[in-house]
Amino acid sequence: MFNCKSRILFVTEDLFIPPRNGSARIYYDTAEKYKCGGHDIFCIAAYRSEEEANAPGIKDGYSTLFSDVLFIPSLNYRGNAVAKLGLVMREVARTLSGDVYTGTPFYTIALRPFVHSIVDFVRKNEIEVIYFHKPHTVLMLLPLLHQFSSLEVVVEMHDDFIERAEQYRLTYRSLFSRMDWKHIFARYLGEYVKLVRLSSLNVLRSRHTETRLLQYCGKILVASEEEFGYYRQDPAMKEKVVYHPWQFDQAPPMSGTRSAPGLMPDSSVVTTS
């Protein structure tokens, strides 16, 4: 699909080095696999706070794996009062709209000082492929994508976030139906707030936003066979969707586990010309 020696820019919504969970392990293994395959890899690494990005070993870890790295605030940036207010407003907007992909109202303000750096980073490193690790990262850089129209844009679905939101809603509802209010407010207030937001989930609106984000991508990588079949049903995405299952170096995880350490991507996506 790509040249054997592509210059690939990985974009993630959160820091993933060192890997702290299954998702981060997938991101790391994906980048490492492509690097071992002879590609020149770069990264735009988004952080939730400056303290997180400046923690010991973070920048050294990225520099070891990638040829060049740029750190920017993420959609979950909480570095100042404006950013924190934006996150609160996003949760309110999600509750009112039911859209899983509702953005952060003030994110453009946080990103503004980095816009020129992002564009320069892509150009100076002669990036050929932008690899978004999930649709949220497309949303993060959406205002800049028109400047990269000549590049190959790939998104790893990673998960069906709309279906996952529905499963969370059903799980929380079942959990809290068995508890009294005192116990909920004493130990599970955060989870109950999530249930309130998820109760307004609007699947059709969320799918519309998802389709709008994916239209900017030339390839849509889907690891689940079931989800691959679903996304192939959309005429607008049928030719873009690629079945891209995660592979295992060791024994596979239990059935239903999507994000376990040890998952390895199929490098043929970027090594087949």
- Give me 211's structure tokens: 């389709």
Nearest-angstrom CA–CA distance, 136 and 131: 12
To the nearest whole number, what is the mean pLDDT of the chain?
85
In the chain, how many H helices and how many E strands?
Answer: 13, 9
**pLDDT score for 263:** 39
Q: State the DSSP H helix or E strand holding residue 262, giving kind and residue range, or none if neither.
A: none
Angle between helices 203-214 and 161-176 (to 10 degrees): 150
Query: Torsion over CA of 68, 71, 72 and 76, rounded to 10 degrees?
Result: 130
CB atoms within 10 A of CB 129: 23
**pLDDT score for 108:** 87
Look up tokens 């907007």; give the residue: 93
- Give me 68's structure tokens: 């060049």
- Give me 113's structure tokens: 């000082």
**pLDDT score for 272:** 35
Nearest-angstrom CA–CA distance, 267 and 256: 23
pTM over 0.85: no
- Give me 166's structure tokens: 């529905």
**pLDDT score for 175:** 85
Q: Which of 176, 190, 160 is nearest to 258 (CA)?
A: 160
Which residues of the chain fall below pLDDT 50? Answer: 248, 250-268, 270-273
**pLDDT score for 43:** 98
**pLDDT score for 246:** 76
**pLDDT score for 3:** 58
